[in-house]
Copies of this chain bind each other. A is one copy, B any other.
Amino acid sequence: MSAVPTIRQLLVRPRLCSTALNSSSSPFLSYAPSLHFCPSSLRVLSSSSSPTLTQEEADGPVGKGSSLIDVNPPRGTRDFPPDDMRLRSWLFQNFREVSRILSFEEVDFPVLESEALFIRKAGEEITQQLYNFEDKGGRRVVLRPEITPSLARLVIKQGKSASLPLKWFTIGQCWRYERMTRGRRREHYQWNMDIFGVSKVRAEAELIQAVVLLFERLGIKSSDVGIRVSSRKVLQAVLQMYAIPENLFTQVCVIVDKLGKITREEMEKELVSLGVSTKAVNGIIEVLSLKSLSKLEEVLGSEGEAVSELKKLFSLAESYGYADWICFDASVVRGLAYYTGIVFEAFDRQGKLRAICGGGRYDRLLSTFGTDDIPACGFGFGDAVIVELLKEKALLPDLSHKVDDIVFPLDEVLDGTASSIASSLRKKGRSVDLVEDKRLKWVFKHAERIGASRLILVGNSEWERGAVRVKNLSTREEFEVKIDELD
């Protein structure tokens, strides 16, 4: 029986793939590809013996025996052992702190939602990959692919009891189901900030400031990352120029967003089959190539909302002081069907990674749920690409485990005393590890491993004097301290 992975396993398991292999724009990618296999002392999964496994899962570690479980989480999902969890908590703490600074309130929703909330017919990737199923009561439910529809649902539910504008943020896990390929995952966490009830681009300006403040807190500079900004109203204006019916707008946006993933020819074909003339397709592509607002103004004129809103946003960016972070790029459309106005996405200037976050205005989402519309905009910021970027820029902080004290009784009869000392230090808020039945050598190694500041040795001779031996583990100094003076 062997617990050593075969070459094939090393090649095909998603967690073993370098993220550099990924060219997709999907946010569902692993940030902590880790290579954990069972040590040989532990029996591991036999792929042929478990009744619940399909061949797709059978490329895990191989062993023999009839009652062995797979030690991996479900395909495409992650465990967070302590190191990964500290990284995640640190990132989420930054999300929360920026949200607090912007005066947003945190909300949350069930990870399981009604499928009806996500059924849209515009051909979006996100709705094609729904992690949906029927529950035992015959209900169509999904592990949510995104959080915006839940936010909108809660806004409707709160109704008049909530005073607009609402500024809400949330951090939650999102899911998708698709055939697994290299390095892609089925879940990721997403920070969302959304403003309901502000129709002016002030809302977008605030959201972009939040994104910039987050980058700055993480040590990322505007020379590392930029934020591309455009507006769906640009495409809308082009459609009007070519007299394309308004009801095609959403589908055109979803198709146009695929450029880069599909060829220009494929995109043209999709647009033409939707009923867009070849002339209009060329017009669309021409406008999408624009990278300056003045050029856009030349093409569309200065009267329309597209140009005036973008100009206002860039002017506010100057006032906020983040103008060097943003640039106009008409090719930004974003893939979600419901965006109606300004859209934006953050990207690494080296062009190695997928979009770091994306957002935009969605003023007409609520009416698709059968209620009156409320102007709204927001963004989603995943937990995967940002960590890849931080790793690449060597900006990950030291997040090792830290503990204040280790209390160690040198004799079994002193375990009560050790309990009482640990308890008293803990009541003062100190983090205390209580160790017994180990050799002193192990305790010192352990102290290093858990980043302990002090070692408190409870020995018989000191105890007789009402004292303990305290070793400061950074200075290596040792003192005898009276138990009631310990703090």
Q: CB within 8 Å of B: which residues of A?
A: 36-39, 41-45, 50, 52-54, 56-57, 65, 67-75, 77-82, 85-86, 88-89, 100-103, 105-117, 131, 133-141, 143, 150, 153-154, 156-161, 163, 167-168, 173, 175, 177, 187, 200, 202, 205-206, 209, 213, 315-316, 318-322, 368-372, 401, 403, 415-417, 419-420, 422-424, 426-427, 429-434, 436-437, 446, 449-450
Contacts and interface: CB of A to CB of B under 8 A. Distances in A.
Nearest to A162: B81
A102 B426 contact: yes
A207 to B, nearest CB: 12
A138 to B, nearest CB: 5
16 contacts: A36-B157, A39-B160, A41-B372, A52-B139, A57-B139, A74-B110, A74-B112, A79-B109, A79-B110, A81-B154, A82-B105, A101-B430, A102-B426, A112-B187, A136-B177, A316-B416
Nearest to A80: B108
Given A36-B161, A67-B370, 20 more contacts: A38-B156, A38-B159, A39-B161, A44-B370, A56-B137, A67-B368, A69-B156, A69-B370, A73-B153, A74-B141, A78-B110, A79-B153, A82-B107, A88-B108, A101-B426, A102-B426, A167-B433, A202-B436, A206-B434, A316-B419
A420 B319 contact: yes
Nearest to A434: B206
A419 B69 CA distance: 57
Given A80-B107, A82-B168, A432 B401 contact: no
A276 B271 CA distance: 74
A368 B81 CA distance: 22
Main secondary structure of the interface of A (DSSP, over half): mixed
B36 A72 contact: no
A187 to B, nearest CB: 6
A71 B432 contact: no
Contacts of A109: 73, 79-80
B156 A77 contact: no
Residue of A116, A416, A424 with most chain B CB atoms under a 10 A cut-off: A116
Contact of A432 (B102, B158, B420, B424): B102
Contacts of A159: 36-39, 41-42
A137 B39 CA distance: 29
A108 B150 CA distance: 24
A163 B449 contact: yes
B429 A101 contact: yes
A105 B401 contact: yes
B420 A117 contact: no
Nearest to A318: B416
Contacts of A45: 370
5 nearest A-B pairs in the assembled complex, by CB-CB distance: A68-B370, A39-B159, A319-B416, A319-B419, A77-B110
Contact of A79 (B107, B143, B161, B426): B107
B88 A135 contact: no
A418 to B, nearest CB: 8
A140 B133 CA distance: 12
Given A43-B371, A436-B202, A110 B65 contact: no
B370 A426 contact: no
A85 B101 contact: no
B101 A82 contact: no
A133 B136 CA distance: 8
B52 A115 contact: yes
Contact of A54 (B107, B133, B139): B139
B416 A74 contact: no
Contact of A106 (B53, B89, B137): B89
Contacts of A82: 105-107, 168
Contacts of A209: 423, 426
A81 B107 contact: yes
